[in-house]
């Protein structure tokens, strides 16, 4: 269906219009992003009046625009639920993440695991709080994770440091993606039980993010590297700059790209090692670790993200 649509002039015109809407919204303000996705939903709704089959290939349309199907779903839901932009909850103070997490239904809630569902060998995903998870001391070769960045979750960084110091093997590494607003305190908390090693830069190709509290367009993300004592130098010379081809948001709003994850797992672990992600979300690190022949363990407290990651892997 998608290939047939791509050859039609009206479809090409629709895709270009949608790309223009999102590009303009992304580089201006938080409200402009909400308004942009609302306009995107409106534009697609208008197109269904003359081409009702457009929504039969939501995934194909999303890929043509450069979005995930989940984001496109939320754009449609936003316009369907709030056809008058002025009636959005909290008005112009609302952010896109807050709108989709608090006021719109989560498509992942409808996931039903098929009968006989089973994860691949050497993959484990737990639906629980990582602070209550049971692991043997000195049993994990690498922790690689992407904790939540908002200030309300800052205590989790201390808990992560404590977990890493206990379960990592001696000289094992903790790799944690981080935002930048709370970076000094994040590093202070990780240093409570771990030793700082280095900071890598993850450069995002494609769409970027405007950090409203600082009025800065963010094009890169710090990746903090900490080590459990004793200190042991890497045996391979590495470049501390990684290009992330695309930040996928198919299964989770904070989802990171597989391309960046692949390089980090290859740099800091070996085939047959055990890796752990205490904030597994959409399961990116678990999935990539499994593909790279590592035993992969993920922990996710949110049920919808947990179910989505099971199916993804």
pLDDT of the residue at 248: 46
Domain edge (last residue) among 59, 75, 105: 105
* Same structural domain, 57 and 205: no
H or E segment and range at residue 5:
helix 2-6
* Same structural domain, 83 and 130: no
* Same structural domain, 150 and 250: yes
pLDDT of the residue at 64: 86
Chain mean pLDDT for the chain: 88
* Same structural domain, 249 and 301: yes
pLDDT of 251 > 70? The answer is: no
Dihedral of alpha carbons 139, 293, 234, 158, sign: negative
pLDDT of the residue at 225: 98
| Domain-located, residue 169 | yes
Q: How many CB atoms lie within 10 A of CB 131?
A: 14
* Same structural domain, 206 and 265: yes
Per residue in 50-108, pLDDT (tens digit) is: 888 777 777 788 888 888 788 888 999 999 999 999 999 998 889 888 898 889 988 77
| Domain-located, residue 59 | yes
pLDDT of 34 > 80? The answer is: yes
Specify the number of domains making up the chain. Answer: 2
* Same structural domain, 291 and 170: yes
Domain edge (last residue) among 105, 136, 159: 105
Distance of CA 255 to the CA centre of its chain: 1
Question: What distance in Å separates the CA atoms of residue 78 and residue 278, rounded to the nearest whole number?
Answer: 32
If you average pLDDT over residues 157-167, what whole number do you get? 98
pLDDT of 249 > 60? The answer is: no
Where does the pLDDT of residue 254 fall: very low under 50, low under 70, confident under 90, or very high at 90 and above?
A: very low
Q: How many CB atoms lie within 10 A of CB 302?
A: 16
| Domain-located, residue 116 | no
Long-range contact pairs involving 75-83 (C-beta distance under 8 Å, separation at least 24): 75/37, 75/38, 75/40, 75/41, 75/44, 76/41, 76/44, 76/45, 77/41, 77/104, 77/105, 78/34, 78/37, 78/38, 78/41, 78/104, 79/38, 79/41, 79/42, 79/45, 80/41, 80/45, 82/38, 83/42
Domain edge (last residue) among 54, 70, 105: 105
pLDDT of 275 > 90? The answer is: yes
Q: Give the pair of three-digit tokens for residue 85.
A: 């932009």
Q: CATH number for the domain including 305?
A: 3.40.50.150
The sheet with strand 168-177 has its strands ordered as 123-126, 295-299, 274-277, 140-145, 168-177, 220-227, 195-204, 241-244
| Domain-located, residue 112 | no
Domain coverage including residue 75 = 2-105
Per residue in 188-227, pLDDT (tens digit) is: 999 999 999 999 999 876 556 667 788 888 889 999 999 9
Q: Residue 302: which of 101, 162, 119 has the closest Cα?
A: 101
* Same structural domain, 216 and 286: yes
| Domain-located, residue 117 | no
Per residue in 51-66, pLDDT (tens digit) is: 887 777 777 888 888 8
Where does the pLDDT of residue 31 fall: very low under 50, low under 70, confident under 90, or very high at 90 and above?
A: confident
């Amino acid at each position: 269906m998608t290939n047939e649509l791509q050859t039609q002039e009206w479809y090409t015109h629709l895709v270009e219009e949608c790309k223009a809407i999102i590009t303009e919204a992304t580089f201006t303000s938080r409200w402009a992003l909400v308004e942009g996705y609302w306009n995107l939903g409106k534009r697609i709704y208008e197109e269904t009046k003359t081409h009702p089959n457009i929504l039969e290939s939501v995934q194909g349309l999303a890929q043509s625009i450069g979005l995930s199907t989940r984001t496109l779903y939320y754009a449609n839901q936003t316009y369907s639920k709030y056809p008058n932009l002025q009636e959005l909850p909290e008005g112009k103070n609302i952010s896109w993440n807050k709108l989709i997490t608090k006021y719109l239904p989560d498509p992942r809630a409808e996931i039903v695991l098929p009968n006989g569902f089973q994860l691949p060998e050497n993959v484990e995903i737990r639906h629980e709080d990582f602070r209550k998870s049971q692991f043997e001391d000195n049993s994990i070769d690498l922790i690689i994770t992407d904790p939540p960045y908002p200030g309300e979750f800052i205590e989790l960084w201390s808990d992560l440091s404590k977990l890493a110091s206990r379960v990592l093997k001696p000289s094992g590494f903790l790799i944690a993606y981080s935002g930048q607003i709370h970076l000094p305190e994040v590093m202070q908390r990780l240093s409570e039980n771990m030793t700082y090693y280095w900071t890598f830069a993850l450069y995002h190709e494609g769409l970027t993010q405007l950090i409203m509290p600082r009025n800065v367009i963010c094009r890169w993300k710090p990746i903090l590297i900490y080590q459990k004592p004793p200190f042991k130098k890497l045996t391979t010379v590495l470049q501390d700059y990684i290009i992330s081809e695309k930040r996928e948001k198919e299964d989770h709003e904070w989802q990171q790209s597989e391309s960046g994850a692949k390089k980090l797992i290859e740099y800091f672990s070996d085939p047959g090692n055990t890796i752990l992600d205490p904030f597994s979300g959409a399961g990116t690190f678990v999935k990539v670790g499994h593909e790279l022949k590592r035993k992969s363990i993920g922990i996710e407290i949110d049920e919808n993200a947990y179910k989505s990651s099971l199916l993804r892997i």
